[in-house]
Chain A
Amino acid sequence: QVQLVQSGAEVKKPGASVKVSCKVSGYSLSDLSMHWVRQAPGKGLEWMGGFDPEDVQTIYAQKFQGRVTMTEDTSTDTAHMELSSLRSEDTAVYYCATGSGDLDYWGQGTLVTVSS
């Protein structure tokens, strides 16, 4: 059984960066395709990016290109998502999730608040 445990809530100022972590247990991160999804308050789900096993690379949604970096530390089975140049519209709950396209395991979510 895969379990994903995310880092705690963050409060950031506009223009700053945030790094959210997702610790995997019950499976090896290197055997999973990790994705990141966010949800602004009262809004729907938004896919940010994830690992494409066919091309063996991480694909980012066009909206976040140049601002987001997704990395993996296989020595600790921890995935990271860093979002830079934060603005108020980036206030959201950020989820890590894994699966072969359909996402059957999700972290609990990390609230990132961007406020001056």
Chain B
Amino acid sequence: EIVLTQSPGTLSLSPGERATLSCRASQSVSSSYLAWYQQKPGQAPRLLIYGASSRATGIPDRFSGSGSGTDFTLTISRLEPEDFAMYYCQQYGSSPPFTFGGGTKVEIK
């Protein structure tokens, strides 16, 4: 099973700043089957990025994903007030099992 480690655990930033979130896999993620999700309190997760770098439908272009192999990054170019939330990476390979990272909280500084 692939283990995903996200860092940092918490990111304290101000609106307008750039956020860089990391997701490292214990072994190579095949074909960049890596997704990022945003979750706000009391809500279900929302898909942001799939295939490591493709934005899901309706996701603003300030969100971008990059990386391959074992190292992946989610970047939020300029934080908007609504971007302060939890973020999770997920690997989904070519077939299950799938795994999630432990999450990064982006909080207002």
A residues neighboring B (CB under 8 Å): 35, 37, 44-47, 49-50, 52, 54-55, 59, 61-62, 95, 97, 99, 101-104, 106-109
* A52 and B98 within 8 A (CB): no
Chain B, 33-70, CB within 8 A of any chain A CB: 33, 35, 37, 39, 44-47, 50-51, 56-57
Given contacts A44-B103, A45-B88, is CB(A106)–CB(B44) below 8 Å? yes
A-B contacts, 13 listed (Cβ < 8 Å): A44-B101, A47-B90, A47-B96, A47-B97, A49-B97, A50-B96, A59-B95, A95-B44, A101-B33, A101-B93, A103-B35, A103-B45, A104-B47
In the bound assembly, the distance between CA atoms of A102 and B50 in angstroms comes to 6
The interface residues of chain B, by DSSP majority, are classed as loop
* A55 and B100 within 8 A (CB): no
Chain B residue at minimal CB-CB distance from A103: B47
Interface flag for B1 (CB, 8 Å): yes
Shortest CB distance A70–B (Å): 11
* A102 and B96 within 8 A (CB): no
* A62 and B1 within 8 A (CB): yes
- List, in ascending order, chain B residues with CB within 8 A of A59's CB: 95-97
* A44 and B100 within 8 A (CB): yes
- List, in ascending order, chain B residues with CB within 8 A of A108's CB: 44
* A47 and B100 within 8 A (CB): yes
- List, in ascending order, chain A residues with CB within 8 A of B97's CB: 47, 49, 59, 61-62
In the bound assembly, the distance between CA atoms of A95 and B42 in angstroms comes to 12
Total chain B interface residues with beta-carbon distance under 8 A? 27
| 13 additional A-B residue pairs with CB within 8 Å, beyond A44-B88, A54-B94 | A44-B100, A45-B88, A47-B99, A49-B96, A55-B95, A59-B97, A62-B1, A102-B35, A102-B56, A104-B47, A104-B50, A106-B45, A106-B46
* A44 and B99 within 8 A (CB): no
Interface flag for B102 (CB, 8 Å): yes
Chain B, 62-109, CB within 8 A of any chain A CB: 88, 90, 92-103
